Amino acid sequence: MTVKTFIATALTATALTGGAAFAEAHSMNPEVGGAPMLVERNIIENAVNSADHETLVAAVQAAGLVETLSGEGPFTVFAPTDEAFEALPEGTVEDLLKPENKDQLTKVLTCHVVAADAMSEAIRGMIDDDGGAHPVSTVGGCELTATYEGDAIMIEDENGNVANVTIADVKQSNGVIHVIDAVLLPKM
């Protein structure tokens, strides 16, 4: 075997092995919004690729939270889909995105963020430890309540609105995302 053939064989083997490891590492995360969610990317780097989270990404940008959610963390983000935002009363999203409503938008968004890395199994354990309902304090000062039924985790906001976790345990380099089907709102 020539040196050139040896190097080519070694590079091919490395590429194949690395490719298998890459595929295995990324197969652990579900796709969100038609995009792979890569574990080595942070919350923002992954969210911008989800076709189901365009409104959330725009809101995070408008609130000036991109740098925060790109930071070290750890964060658990309950990420409402575009459909969840569309279910709000007409004009709500447009009003929240106005520069003069930045504080209110920031409050709404940070009520979806917990300063911890909480996978669904851990959340269910906390719910069990608390007799069926676990209080969740958010970065925005909201007090949410987590419950579950079977494998389905539900998050209730301070107004009694319930969001269902539709995709759990989307690992990020700085935490985890749980996709939800409703927007959680602070006490009005």
- pLDDT tens for 4-33 read 333 333 333 334 444 444 444 444 788 888
Q: How many C-beta atoms surround the C-beta of residue 61 within 10 A?
A: 13
Examine residue 21 and state whether it is found in any structural domain, yes or no: no
Instruction: Say which CATH number the domain at 82 has.
Output: 2.30.180.10
> Is 22 within the bounds of a domain?
no
Name the domain count of the chain: 1
Specify burial of residue 78 (Cβ count, 10 A radius: 0-12, 13-18, 19+): buried
Show the domain range for 40: 31-180
Q: Phi first, then psi: give them for residue 127, nearest 5 degrees.
A: -65, -45
Contact 43, 75 (CB under 8 A): yes
Lowest mean pLDDT, pick from 19-23, 143-147, 176-180: 19-23
Q: How many beta carbons lie within 10 A of that of residue 79, not counting itself? A: 26
